[in-house]
Amino acid sequence: MSRNSLFTGALTLLFIITGCANQSKQGKIHKLSHKHSEEAIEDISSRSEKDFQGLEARFEEIEDSLEKEDLSLNSAADRPEHASSRAASVDGIKLEFNDHVKKWIRYFAVRSKARFQRHLDRGEKYRDVVEEVLRQHGLPPELYYLAMIESGYSNHARSPMAAVGAWQFIPGTGRRYGLGLNRYLDERRDPIRATEAASRYLTDLFNVFNSWYLAMAAYNAGEGRVLNAIMRGNTRDFWELVRMKKLPRETRSYVPKFMAAAIIGRNPERFGFRTPRAEPYPDVTAVELPSPISLKAIARESNISLNQLKKVNAHLLRGVTSPNKRTYDVWIPSKLVASVKKVRKSLVSHRIAKLSKLALNRRNPNYHRVKRGESLSSIASKYRISLSELKRANRLNGNRIIAGSRLRVASSGYQRSQGSKHRVRRGETLSSIARKYDMTITEIRSKNGLRSNRIYAGQQLSVRVSKQAKIHVVRRGESLFRIAKKYGQSVKRIMRLNQMTTKTIYPGTHLIVAQR
């Protein structure tokens, strides 16, 4: 079998395992992408001709200055061998200065100058916090410009495909990466939580493609479309896929637009923009408070400004925390944290009791009210879960259901009671994973539809947790040290039980904390 055939087979397997098809985002419209047709880019108006000619004349000077800024022009991992463009290394992402990128620099700096200046200004408010979150996740801070291309840093941006917030998450992908979404909150509008989710998503994409160009393309079009383009084009060279038009039209422009924005953002004045001005996002701390509770009650009891709370908790759509949780982490301006913590116990009496019942009503997305003529099979199909999962969630032995009864439905992000997910780490094998979870290799392959023993770093596998194992689900703000102390274990033992090589953990991760 040829090397290309092996590679194509591996990509096909990866596509099946990661469930790429259900996470496609190609339909969404971006503020800086979908509205700008190729014709509009080429059609520079006569009113802008003078500015255009001036910028064009400066391109050679800009190229020379980029070279003098100690940008690695010949070491770009994502750069095609045949490319004649200059490449720049910026915090792990290679920036090209080719014709595709120049075209978008011209567009942003001439035809859409006022609009792009607004995006620079709006993004400046969030720049420090976004870049800090990216760094904490080990990602290049230049990915800050990806959200600028997505939404122009408008937390209220919404596409026809229901992609929302600065990072433009669709509901399915948002929930998949831990963002809460219901009638009372939409954490896609939270710049910190959304950036954390985007960081996890981009990390997964980079682990899959081992290329920032392809990872960003997949963020735009969906993993499935990019994998399909790679298989049809028989290449992982992004620029070659662009040349062959294997990627969707919007995606072919998406990466060059990111590069154009990043190059302009490094020195706006060089391209005729003024230095962005904005009041920085305030320092905030997450404080766990009783839920559901209103921001008004928190402000009144702690004697702080309601407006301050609303500004940093704009994702709480009705000024109330989620009724589906007993506690919720509310963002509090750091200088006011002490005032809130003092009254935390007294806030229990301010819980909105009637809202707690909403966790079981017909509008709750985790429940379905059976209608006349419906079957378990049709309901399972509607919520894209298996019949066995639906029966297990509701403790049903047969297939008989009664109209008017309420069934609990599970989404793809739901953690089942008898199972969990394992993210493959570099160096792991099916054999080592099977030993960890007291399973056979055959069981893991069958559970995940694997045709061979090949697995990839970053891949998620469904596993069965031993009944003898005690599991802890990591909550936001927890550390390995705190978890180990809670269960009377050492950090080293927990790392050994979970075959961890670093102490980095993420909310939602299932950790084995004890095993007989």
| % of the chain beyond a pLDDT of 70 | 69
pLDDT of 466: 53
**Residues designated as active site:** 150
57 has a pLDDT exceeding 90 = no
Q: How far apart are CA 299 and CA 309, in angstroms?
A: 7
- The residues, any chain, with a CB within 8 Å of residue 81's CB and separated by 6 or more, are none
43 has a pLDDT exceeding 60 = no
Where do we find the tokens 């509009």? 40
Q: In the structure, what pLDDT confidence band is assigned to residue 101 with cuts at 50, 70 and 90?
A: very high
Taking a C-beta distance cutoff of 8 angstroms, is the pair 247, 229 a contact? yes
Q: How far apart are CA 451 and CA 445, in angstroms?
A: 7
230 has a pLDDT exceeding 60 = yes
Q: In the structure, what pLDDT confidence band is assigned to residue 62 with cuts at 50, 70 and 90?
A: low
Average pLDDT value for residue range 455-469:
66
70 has a pLDDT exceeding 50 = no
Structure tokens at 498: 């979970």
What amino acid is encoded at 297 in this protein?
A: A
306 has a pLDDT exceeding 60 = yes
- The residues, any chain, with a CB within 8 Å of residue 11's CB and separated by 6 or more, are 227, 230, 231
pLDDT of 483: 85
pLDDT of 27: 41
Taking a C-beta distance cutoff of 8 angstroms, is the pair 270, 325 a contact? no
269 has a pLDDT exceeding 70 = yes
Taking a C-beta distance cutoff of 8 angstroms, is the pair 106, 55 a contact? yes
Structure tokens at 55: 């910028």
- Mean pLDDT lowest for which of 96-105, 294-303, 427-436? 427-436
Nearest to 297 by CA among 353, 245, 230: 353
- Which H/E stretch holds residue 15? helix 3-18
pLDDT of 85: 42
What amino acid is encoded at 169 in this protein?
A: F
Q: How far apart are CA 240 and CA 235, in angstroms?
A: 7
Indicate the burial class of 499 (C-beta count within 10 angstroms; 0-12, 13-18, 19 or more): middle
pTM of the model: 0.60
pLDDT of 71: 43
Q: pLDDT of 200-215, one tens digit each?
A: 899 999 988 989 999 9
281 has a pLDDT exceeding 60 = yes
Where do we find the tokens 């990216």? 134
- Mean pLDDT lowest for which of 64-78, 178-192, 467-481, 488-502? 64-78
pLDDT of 3: 46
E-strand spans in 143-268? none
E-strand spans in 308-398? 327-333, 367-369
pLDDT of 316: 94
- The residues, any chain, with a CB within 8 Å of residue 114's CB and separated by 6 or more, are none
| % of the chain beyond a pLDDT of 90 | 28
Q: pLDDT of 135-186, one tens digit each?
A: 878 888 899 999 999 999 988 888 877 889 999 999 888 988 889 888 899 9
Q: In the structure, what pLDDT confidence band is assigned to residue 94 with cuts at 50, 70 and 90?
A: confident
pLDDT of 53: 61
Residue 94's SS3 state is strand
Distances (CA, A) of 447 to 371, 442, 444, 450, 471: 32, 8, 5, 8, 20
Q: In the structure, what pLDDT confidence band is assigned to residue 79 with cuts at 50, 70 and 90?
A: very low
Q: Cα angle vertex 33, ends 224, 116, to 5°?
A: 140
What amino acid is encoded at 165 in this protein?
A: G
Q: How far apart are CA 340 and CA 391, in angstroms?
A: 44
pLDDT of 309: 94
pLDDT of 84: 36
Average pLDDT value for residue range 188-198:
92
pLDDT of 46: 42
pLDDT of 135: 82
For residue 452, the 8-state DSSP code is: S
Q: How far apart are CA 506 and CA 256, in angstroms?
A: 31
| Structure-model confidence comparison of residues 360 and 219, the more confident one | 219
pLDDT of 49: 55
Average pLDDT value for residue range 466-489:
74
Q: Cα angle vertex 75, ends 70, 76, to 5°?
A: 105
Average pLDDT value for residue range 3-7:
46
pLDDT of 220: 93
Q: How far apart are CA 278 and CA 268, in angstroms?
A: 15
Q: In the structure, what pLDDT confidence band is assigned to residue 362 with cuts at 50, 70 and 90?
A: very low
Q: How far apart are CA 387 and CA 133, in angstroms?
A: 40
335 has a pLDDT exceeding 80 = yes
Q: pLDDT of 339-349, one tens digit each?
A: 999 998 899 88
Chain centroid to CA 396: 35
Average pLDDT value for the chain: 76
Q: How far apart are CA 212 and CA 91, in angstroms?
A: 12
Q: In the structure, what pLDDT confidence band is assigned to residue 395 with cuts at 50, 70 and 90?
A: low
Which residues on adjacent β-strands are paired with residue 469?
515
285 has a pLDDT exceeding 80 = yes
CA dihedral 343→346→347→351, nearest 10 degrees, is 180
